[in-house]
Amino acid sequence: MTASSPSNSPARTRLMLWATGIFVLAGLLYGAWWLIFASHYESTDDAYVHGNLVQVSAQIPGTVIAIGAEETQTITQGTRLVTLDGSDTDIALAQAEAALAQTVRRTQTLFVQNDALAADVAVGEANVEQADTQLSKARNDLQRRNALRGTGGVSGEELLHAQVAVKSAEASLAQARAGLAAARAKLATNQALTRGSTVATHPDVLQAADQVRQAWLSSVRTHVLAPVGGMVAQRSVQLGQRIQPGTSLMTIVPLDSLWVEANFKENQLDAMQPGQQVKLVSDLYGSKIAYHGTVAGIAAGSGSAFALLPAQNASGNWIKVIQRVPVRIRLDPKELQAHPLRVGLSMTAEVDLSSTPEQTDASRQGGQAAEPALSTPVYDHDPAEVDARIQQIIQDNTAS
């Protein structure tokens, strides 16, 4: 044993040298790999698919008589999802149209009364002129009789009758003037109600027309349409259910506009910025399918900062925990169409920090988007039909 120990010592030394060299070489190779490749990437498996969960609700109360879509069904924008009983809205529309017709006729009466009241003013002016003439005649008669009073040519009874005639003429003139003032006041009041307008543009008629439009709009809203296209989820409405405005009926998920929210550690965000390229792998398809996205933006705070119960770091038993910040990643629509995803699926995201950031639409506009981020034309109802109906009602109830 003692004789063989010296012969084994060089072999052990060479083995240790080879092992050391291999470890050193592996370390150098790893360091080179990290410097050349790995240092330019940040990855996380704390990433999940997100999307818009569009809540569908009614704008008017009513009873559900038809449901046009079921869960997992794919629908397009404008699809009729729920139909409400329209009996009440139809009656309200008919009542509004009748009220408009009645208002038009009542308003036209005001314009007709202007001519009649103007004629009354003219008659009142003639009455005043006639009464003034009668008063002048009575006063002249009284003056002549007073002149003959000393000669005995006029009896006392005749003089008394002349005095009474003057007083009667004065009363008639006062009455005529009062009638003229009343006629002028009525004409002024009626003209004030119709000044600067026609029957069709009178405020009362316009208000009644708006009531018709409101009733028509309620009638249109008995059909609840899909504001966006996508897949129906969480249908809670049932046939025969009495719903109120704002009641959630179902949810629509637009699967063509999903994004990924990757939660990176705070020490991974130093070189990360919007516009950088991202490679993503979904647990649904595995590594055989790779998605290529773009960093859309970095959240304004960590997840704990926006939690329902934020952490109280001022407590005495504080322990530092590395925070994670959500990073929004925009997916390629073509890849998303070829390999659909679902909200909530797990993803692995790897950001290429060396990629040149692309200029986003918001940065081109100085931080403000030129167009709304999301919009829908479903609730833009064309009022041409109801406007034509209103004009027809006004025309039918206006005398030619």
Res 129: pLDDT: 83
Burial profile 114-132: b = 16 or more Cβ within 10 angstroms, e = fewer: eeebeebbeebbebbeebe
Residue 319 CB burial class (10 angstroms; 0-12, 13-18, ≥19): exposed
Res 304: pLDDT: 81
225-240 pLDDT, tens per residue? 999 999 999 999 999 9
> Do 307 and 323 meet the contact criterion of CB atoms below 8 Å apart?
no
Delimit the domains of the chain by residue range.
90-197
> Which of 320, 325, 268 is closest to 302 using CA atoms?
325
> Which of 352, 348, 355 is closest to 44 using CA atoms?
348
Residue numbers of the chain with a pLDDT score lower than 70:
1-8, 30, 32-39, 145, 147-156, 159, 358-371, 400
> Which of 355, 352, 351 is closest to 264 using CA atoms?
351
Res 5: pLDDT: 52
Whole-structure pTM value: 0.72
Res 1: pLDDT: 44
Phi/psi at 90 (nearest 5 deg)?
A: -65, -40
